A = this chain, B = another copy of it.
């Protein structure tokens, strides 16, 4: 029996991943991303564009791409967003071109979106890796929301009602990772494990954009 030994070689594929980080408002998505950068993760983070005002300490092209409303509307018209939405009176969107270019370079690419945004991206790019950042508990989330936004009880109930709606979308996600504020290393280790495991998959998730 003659065996063609050359045809036997095979290695896991190395497509870049598109990683969608999502979760409730106030859950700490930014803190997780920042920790990942500090931990030396090799990835391209495509910034979300927004029309909302900068918060103290935020920088353009570091935290968000801060755009005027007219510029944002123009980009919507020209179909330049992977997804966009209006949330509490402000626009947010993921610029399509940057995502495309990062993936083309072969870089694992991370985008950060709210749950509605993740739902939209799931429909367009089902082969992205969807990670839901979960608060350690609801009381912890309530604490963070109060701290960040100084909400009234009625406003808080409105937010929590949204949280409840968002939880119904959990099935669109592949993974849940808890944002342990006191141990973000654990959170980042889990996200790293997800990336490593995804790269070992027999059927790689190739995102076509």
A residues lining the B interface (CB < 8 Å): 1-3, 5, 7-12, 132, 134, 137-139, 142, 157-158, 160-161, 163-164, 167, 170-171, 173-178, 189-190, 192-194, 196-198, 200-203
Contacts and interface: CB of A to CB of B under 8 A. Distances in A.
A23 to B, nearest CB: 12
A174 B202 contact: yes
Contact of A8 (B10, B167, B174, B194): B167
B174 A201 contact: yes
B167 A10 contact: yes
A7 B160 CA distance: 11
Contacts of A8: 138, 160, 163-164, 167
A201 B175 contact: yes
A192 B193 CA distance: 8
Given A8-B167, A12-B178, A134-B11, A2 B157 contact: yes
Contacts of A9: 137-138
Contacts of A164: 3, 7-8
From A132, A161, A202, residue with most partner B Cβ within 10 Å: A202
Interface centre among A2, A132, A171, A197 (most CB of B within 10 A): A197
A104 B36 CA distance: 36
A204 to B, nearest CB: 10
Closest 9 CB pairs of A and B: A197-B197, A193-B196, A193-B193, A175-B200, A8-B138, A3-B160, A194-B197, A12-B176, A193-B197
Contacts of A171: 202-203
Given A190-B197, A193-B193, 11 more contacts: A1-B158, A1-B161, A8-B160, A8-B163, A10-B176, A12-B134, A12-B178, A171-B203, A174-B201, A175-B201, A193-B194
A7 B203 CA distance: 36
B202 A196 contact: no
A190 B201 CA distance: 11
